[in-house]
Structure 1
Amino acid sequence: MRVRPQREVKHCAGPHESWSTVARRGDTAKTAPRHQHAQQAEAARRCSRNRPPPETPRTAGVYAKATAGTRLFFGTPQLRALLALNLAVAAASAMVTVNSVVYVRDRLGLDAADVSLALGAYGGGSMAVALLLPRVLDRDSDRTVMLRGALLLTLVFAGLGAVTAADSGGWRWPALLLTWAAFGGACSMVLTPTGRLIRRAAPPEERAQAFAAQFSLSHSCWLLTYPLAGWLGAEAGLGAAVAALGAIALAAGLLAVRMWPAREPLGMEHEHTDLHDGHPHLTGAVRVPSGWRHSHDRLAGSLHAH
Structure 2
Amino acid sequence: MAFLAFETILNSLSYDHAEKNLLLSKKTHKIIHMSQSIPSPLKNPSYRNLFCAQVTSLLGTGLTTIALALLAYDMAGDKAGQVLGTALAIKMVAYVCVAPIAGGVAHLLPRKTTLFILDIIRAGLILTLPFLSTPLQLYGVIFLLNVCSACFTPLFQSIIPELLPNEERYTKALSYSRLAYDLENMLSPTLAALLLTLWSFDTLFMLNGVTFALSALLVLITTLPKGAVTERESSILKNITFGIKAYLTTPRLRGLLALHGAVACGGAMVIVNTVLYIRGYLGLGESETAMVMMASGAGSMLVALCLPRLLTTLPDRPMMILGGSLIASALLWGMIMPGLIGIVIIWFLLGAGWSLIQTPAARVVNRSAASGDRAAYFSANFALSHAAWFMGYSLAGWLGATIGLSQTFSILACLAFLLTLWALKLWPTNDPVVMEHTHQAHTHDHPHRHNDHHHEHDHEGWEGPEPHVHEHRHKEVRHAHPFVIDAHHVKWPQR
- Under a length normalisation based on structure 1, what TM-score does the superposition of the two structures give? 0.74
Alignment counterpart, residue 139 of structure 1, candidates 307, 313, 325: 313
Taking the TM superposition and a 5 Å limit, the aligned residue runs for 1:117-266 are: 117-162=291-336, 164=337, 172-265=339-432, 266=434
Q: Aligned runs of 1:84-123 on 2, under 5 Å?
A: 84-123=258-297
Q: Please state if 1:296 is matched with 2:469.
A: no
1:283 to 435, 441, 452: 452
Q: Compared with structure 1, are the counterparts of its residues 103 and 280 closer, same or farther at alpha carbon in structure 2 (3 Å cutoff)? A: farther
Equivalent in 193, 212, 233 of residue 59 of structure 1: 233
Structure 2: 5+ residue stretches without partners: 1-230, 458-472
Superposed displacement of residue 60, structure 1: 3.2
**Distance between the aligned counterparts of 1:58 and 1:239, measured in 2?**
50
Distance change >3 Å, CA 281–CA 151, structure 1 → 2: farther
Return the structure number with greater helix share.
Answer: 2
Partner of 2:436: 268
Identity %: 33
Contact 1:157/1:246 (<8 A) preserved = yes
Alignment of 1:39-50 (within 5 A): none
CA change 1:278–1:232 in 2 (3 A) is: closer
Task: Return the letter of the residue paired with 1:158.
Answer: L
Structure 1 unaligned runs (5+)?
A: 1-56, 167-171
SS in 2 for 1:270: strand
Matched letter for residue 222 of structure 1: W
Question: How far off its partner does 1:161 sit?
Answer: 1.3
1:264, distance to aligned residue in structure 2 (A): 2.4
Counterpart Cα distance in 1 of 2:450 and 2:370: 8
More deviation, 259-268/81-90: 259-268
How many Å separate the matches in 2 of 1:276 and 1:250?
45
SS of aligned partner of 1:304: coil
More contact order relative to length (CA 8 Å, sep ≥ 6):
1
**Contact 2:330–2:349 (CA under 8 A) maintained in structure 1:** yes
CA contact (8 A) 1:273 1:290 kept: yes
Residue 177 of structure 1, CA deviation: 0.8
CA distance in 1, matches of 2:451, 2:442: 11
TM-score (norm 2): 0.46
Deviation at 1:201, TM superposition (A): 1.1
Whole-angstrom CA distance in 2 between matches of 1:75 and 1:281:
26
Using the TM superposition, give the Cα deviation of residue 278 of structure 1 relative to its aligned residue in structure 2, in angstroms.
6.6
Q: 1:279 to 1:290 in 2, by over 3 A?
A: closer
Whose radius of gyration is greater, 1 or 2?
1
Give 1:69 shift. 1.2
1:279/1:251 CA distance change after superposition, 3 Å: same
Does the 8 A contact of 1:125 with 1:185 survive in 2?
A: yes
Note if 1:78 corresponds to 2:252: yes
Letter in 2 for 1:160: G
**RMSD value over aligned CA atoms?**
2.2
- Match of residue 52 from structure 2: none
1:23 match: none
* Residue 153 of structure 1: how far off its partner (Å): 1.3
**What CA deviation, in whole Å up to 9, does each residue of 1:41-60 have, x standing for no partner?**
xxxxxxxxxxxxxxxx8733
* Number of residue pairs aligned between Structure 1 and Structure 2: 243
Asked if 1:68 is matched to 2:242, the reply is: yes
Tell me how far apart the structure 1 counterparts of residues 352 and 232 of structure 2 sit (CA, whole Å). Answer: 45
